[in-house]
Structure 1
């Protein structure tokens, strides 16, 4: 998100308009549905793929890799700020279309993004239809019974809009358009039950990392975004508007079962996101919950080891494509080339509670067993 810091005054005014006027995005979406009704009737968006996990698990890398396959359609950064009306906004913004230059994102992890890079902004939709799930102190879980008919209809049409915008018509007379919506939204680990209920043909891909390394990376990013939010008020506003509550001054933990008990610990360190124990406890609660959901729906919720997938390269990607029913065609080698060997371990276990480390190893073993199965 580094490029947002270079937004022009007009960019920032449009952003404040899109997110500051209550109901404007939904109104724009409704107008768009009416304007493009005939076109959208010819579009199919079946079998979507949702990539989700705790942040820093490799979800952005997986998004970039899968986005290389033409069957997938995803949001892009240039869909901001009117993310609920992407077709209308694409037409309106065409006259001042920005160049697709790349810049390192705000995470400082070497990944470069630009206005044409894939990104899923659907957290805006979840927040619009389930505002009661979001609190100052955290975010509640969604259950299968939390579905809303209006939301389901809106999401179904929104997926078709992204396919219509990103996938060219087929060659059978240029009439029908079909594709698969591709999402990367870490917040979706809070709503695994509802997503599988709302989207019967969907699959959810959840990468995981070695817990100590993952927790240390989460802590570093929290510190990074604390500084960013303090130095750049617009960056903080931007992340709040699109629902990025993972780090920094905006951090709101998801209320995974058992997280509060894990966070109590022997002292107050686990209650402080400025400490390693906090993030290790969060990792345990999150992935224990994910493991439970995956065990009940192994065909729909797919677990991946980040380290093993990166090391596996082409073979690992071919296996993932098979599990997702993706015809890789001639794109497999180019997509697999994005994988790099994972960095050597650098987290220090001496900075963590041994009991938490042991518990995390148990959860990781459970995840790995599910991958093998």
Structure 2
């Protein structure tokens, strides 16, 4: 595609700036700068070559015209109709070259470039955060130890619960309109502040409607920056200790998102368990809500989405790129289970087998049962479906918030599981499920 060299030039130019901003050993930085500089020179060469190729293609009609008319270049009259037609044909030839384009729903080539430039460069993104945090601090925006996290294994109802909580204006969250400048949402809002909130069904095809003002699990990108992706290895997401320094940045980031002193920061983050214990040691006041679901139907739902997203990502690699940016490794081609520090869990290598997803469920929820329970709510998905108002009231009570007029309708989401699975794994999962129900708050 002719635009690719120009896209690469833009990406590599910004990547070089990002490398220069890295806080690493100088010798290491010099090596990285040299490597990035070589990429930049190569992309510049490709741009020049593309321009020369375009000129060559555009000149073909002139050459043909000169040959057929037995004229020389000096004989050409560029004001004549023949010359103008020849120039027009030559300049439009490139548009008729067949180019296979990948189907990226809702994202133009320019939009994809903007996402890559904003989200691939951690050092620049961090600088933008620090600048915005400093500005808001001067305005009197304070950090707050109280915040709310909705978490759980994917497909446990976390998106639905967060969306219903966020209808209460006491909460403030990241939403799709903050993409792709997630570390500077208030500055970005000055340039991009879409009006209206037209909604469509999200890509999960699960009936949940989303728009640009819909809240989503976006804060993980900032935590990825703080750790420079160190907890994301080839095969798993590893639990780790969030340092006090990085925790302070995380709390400042929440203040940036809130942009006032009255709101309570709310986020959905299915990876939060990876660093939960270390954050709890630093903050006893925040509330976390863990959702869980009957293991067999939950595993079947994960398997279904894994198949769906694997197909989607093969057809459109930008979907995979997008999910990787946001730390979404729940399913798809880059799916990764959690690896907790004391876990000895081994996984079935066949991710198209229901047993693998039962193992993912067992691994997550067996660890969840071991955590500190202070300011923790366990919510049963089935109870939430049947009695959503009661569940929301229990959360508001825990936060000491008054709320009136909750009128959410119950809904049913029963799933028949036809796949064969290990009886041993099923029994183990059901035992954990029973223990979770004993710990359930609502």
Provide TM-score, normalisation by structure 1.
Answer: 0.85
Deviations 1:310-367 (A, max 9, x none): 1123223222321233322x3522xx33xx323223113x611000111011000100
Residue of structure 2 in register with 1:125 after alignment: 222
Give the Cα separation in 1 of the matches to 2:105 and 2:342: 38
Residue of structure 1 in register with 2:50 after alignment: none
Give the Cα separation in 1 of the matches to 2:245 and 2:143: 19
Deviations 1:207-253 (A, max 9, x none): 10000000000000000110110011111111111111111111111
Give the Cα separation in 1 of the matches to 2:264 and 2:242: 22
Residue from 141, 158, 166 that aligns with 2:239 = 141
Query: Is the 1:5–1:235 contact (alpha carbons within 8 Å) kept by the matching residues of 2?
Result: no
Residue from 406, 426, 432 that aligns with 1:357 = 426
Residue from 103, 111, 127 that aligns with 2:208 = 111
Query: Is the 2:379–2:441 contact (alpha carbons within 8 Å) kept by the matching residues of 1?
Result: no
Confirm whether residue 212 of structure 1 aligns to residue 296 of structure 2. yes
Residue of structure 2 in register with 1:332 after alignment: 406
In the superposition, relative to structure 1, how do residues 185 and 4 fare at CA in structure 2: closer, same or farther (>3 Å)? farther
Confirm whether residue 343 of structure 1 aligns to residue 384 of structure 2. no
In the superposition, relative to structure 1, how do residues 257 and 38 fare at CA in structure 2: closer, same or farther (>3 Å)? closer
Residue of structure 1 in register with 2:126 after alignment: 26
Query: Is the 1:257–1:285 contact (alpha carbons within 8 Å) kept by the matching residues of 2?
Result: no
Deviations 1:153-197 (A, max 9, x none): 211111111111xx6xxxxxxxxx321110101011222212322
Query: Is the 1:204–1:301 contact (alpha carbons within 8 Å) kept by the matching residues of 2?
Result: yes
In the superposition, relative to structure 1, how do residues 35 and 262 fare at CA in structure 2: closer, same or farther (>3 Å)? closer
Question: What SS does the aligned partner of 1:60 have?
Answer: helix
Query: Is the 1:43–1:163 contact (alpha carbons within 8 Å) kept by the matching residues of 2?
Result: no
Query: Is the 1:139–1:253 contact (alpha carbons within 8 Å) kept by the matching residues of 2?
Result: yes
Give the Cα separation in 2 of the matches to 1:148 and 1:308: 36
Query: Is the 2:223–2:250 contact (alpha carbons within 8 Å) kept by the matching residues of 1?
Result: no
Give the Cα separation in 2 of the matches to 1:284 and 1:278: 10
Query: Is the 2:345–2:363 contact (alpha carbons within 8 Å) kept by the matching residues of 1?
Result: no
Q: Any residues of structure 2 matched to 1:216-231 within 5 Å, and which?
A: 216-231=300-315
Structure 1 unaligned blocks of 5 or more: 168-176, 264-269
Select the structure of larger CA radius of gyration. Answer: 2
Residue from 356, 359, 370 that aligns with 1:281 = 359
Confirm whether residue 188 of structure 1 aligns to residue 264 of structure 2. no
Query: Is the 1:206–1:301 contact (alpha carbons within 8 Å) kept by the matching residues of 2?
Result: yes
Confirm whether residue 151 of structure 1 aligns to residue 251 of structure 2. no
Query: Is the 2:204–2:305 contact (alpha carbons within 8 Å) kept by the matching residues of 1?
Result: yes
Residue of structure 2 in register with 1:80 after alignment: 179
Give the Cα separation in 2 of the matches to 1:197 and 1:248: 33
Residue of structure 2 in register with 1:302 after alignment: 377
Query: Is the 1:98–1:115 contact (alpha carbons within 8 Å) kept by the matching residues of 2?
Result: no
Aligned-residue Cα RMSD (Å) equals: 2.1
Shift of 1:280: 0.4
Residue of structure 1 in register with 2:73 after alignment: none
Give the Cα separation in 1 of the matches to 2:341 and 2:321: 30
Question: What SS does the aligned partner of 1:200 have?
Answer: coil
Query: Is the 2:141–2:255 contact (alpha carbons within 8 Å) kept by the matching residues of 1?
Result: no
Shift of 1:28: 1.0
In the superposition, relative to structure 1, how do residues 109 and 23 fare at CA in structure 2: closer, same or farther (>3 Å)? same
Residue of structure 2 in register with 1:203 after alignment: 287
Give the Cα separation in 2 of the matches to 1:76 and 1:234: 20
